C-alpha cells in the first residue's frame, strides 16, 4: 500500500467551479507538498506546509496533522488550471519525498 | 539562476544503447535527487546526493544505472544497455539542507524503442 493516497484520481469541472483534491498519508511527516505537473512534464511546487492553511491566489492548501490528511482547493477554476496535481510527503527523519499517484484535473470552458 | 535545468528534454534510443542525462541544480542547493515517473504514476525515488556524496540508492536502480555528482554541482544519470522498461520521465530536484522545499527540473522523457 502506498504511503500517500490521493482522491479522486480524475476530476472534470466546469470553469468557475470549486475543486477539492484530497491527500491521505500513513506515516509521520515533517512537511507535505502540493505539486502541479503540466503535460510537458515539469513539476512546479505549489505549497509546502506542515500545519494549518496556506493560500496563494485561487489556491488554498490545508493540512490536519492529527488526521494525516491534506486538501488542495481551487476556487473559481479556469481551463489553465488543467494539470496533474500531486501530493508528496517528507517522512520524519528522511530526506526524500514519497509521492501520491496524482489527480488529473480537467477544467472545461 | 533560472532554477533546475535538465538536458535533454526528450531522448529516443534503441534498446541496448547507453544514455546519459544531465541535471544542473540551483547553485546554492547541496541536496540533489533523481526520481523516475512512469505514465499515470507519481515519481519514485532513485537516488540522492548531498554535495558530491551519493547517500542513498533505491533498489529500483539496477546495476545498469549509475549517477554521479562530481564537485557537488551538476549531476549525471547514466543508463547502460537500455531496456523498454526504462522508458519513463526522469526528474531531477534540488533543495537546500534542512527541510526546504524541493525545486524540480522539467524532466527528461526517455523512450526506448
Q: A21-77 pLDDT, tens per residue?
A: 999 999 999 899 999 998 877 888 899 999 999 999 999 999 999 999 999 999 999
Residues of A with CB under 8 A from a CB of B: 4, 30-31, 33, 35, 40-45, 48, 86, 88, 90, 95-102
Q: Which residue has the cell 544503447?
A: B17
pLDDT tops 70 at residue B1: no
Backbone φ and ψ for B70, nearest 5 degrees, come out as -65, 140
State the cell numbers at A13. 469541472
The answer to whether A43 contacts B104, with C-beta atoms less than 8 Å apart, is yes
Q: Please state the length of chain A.
A: 109
pLDDT tier, B98 (very low <50, low <70, confident <90, very high otherwise): low
Mean predicted confidence (pLDDT) in B54-80: 92
The answer to whether A90 contacts B99, with C-beta atoms less than 8 Å apart, is yes
pLDDT tier, A96 (very low <50, low <70, confident <90, very high otherwise): confident
| Chain B residues inside the 8 Å CB shell of A30 | 99
Residue A17, min C-alpha distance to chain B (Å): 25
Residue B39, Cβ density class (10 Å: 0-12 exposed, 13-18 middle, ≥19 buried): exposed
Amino acid at each position: 500500500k502506498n504511503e500517500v493516497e490521493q482522491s479522486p484520481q480524475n476530476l472534470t469541472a466546469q470553469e468557475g467551479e470549486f475543486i477539492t483534491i484530497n491527500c491521505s498519508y500513513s506515516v509521520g511527516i515533517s512537511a507535505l507538498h502540493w505539486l502541479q505537473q503540466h503535460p510537458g512534464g515539469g513539476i512546479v511546487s505549489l505549497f509546502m506546509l506542515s500545519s494549518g492553511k496556506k493560500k496563494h491566489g485561487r489556491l488554498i492548501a490545508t493540512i490536519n496533522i492529527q488526521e494525516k490528511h491534506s486538501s488542495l482547493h481551487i476556487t473559481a477554476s479556469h481551463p489553465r488550471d488543467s494539470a496533474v496535481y500531486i501530493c508528496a510527503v517528507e517522512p520524519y527523519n528522511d530526506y526524500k519525498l514519497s509521492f501520491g499517484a496524482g489527480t488529473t484535473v480537467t477544467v472545461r470552458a | 539562476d533560472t532554477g533546475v535545468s535538465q538536458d535533454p528534454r526528450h531522448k529516443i534510443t534503441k534498446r541496448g544503447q547507453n544514455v546519459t542525462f544531465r541535471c544542473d541544480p540551483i547553485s546554492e542547493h547541496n541536496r540533489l535527487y533523481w526520481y523516475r515517473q512512469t505514465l499515470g504514476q507519481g515519481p519514485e525515488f532513485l537516488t540522492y546526493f548531498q554535495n558530491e556524496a551519493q547517500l542513498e540508492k533505491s533498489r529500483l536502480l539496477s546495476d545498469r544505472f549509475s549517477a554521479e555528482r562530481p564537485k557537488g554541482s551538476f549531476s549525471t544519470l547514466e543508463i547502460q544497455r537500455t531496456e523498454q522498461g526504462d522508458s519513463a520521465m526522469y526528474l531531477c530536484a534540488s533543495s537546500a539542507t534542512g527541510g526546504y522545499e524541493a525545486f524540480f527540473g522539467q524532466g527528461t522523457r526517455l523512450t526506448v524503442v
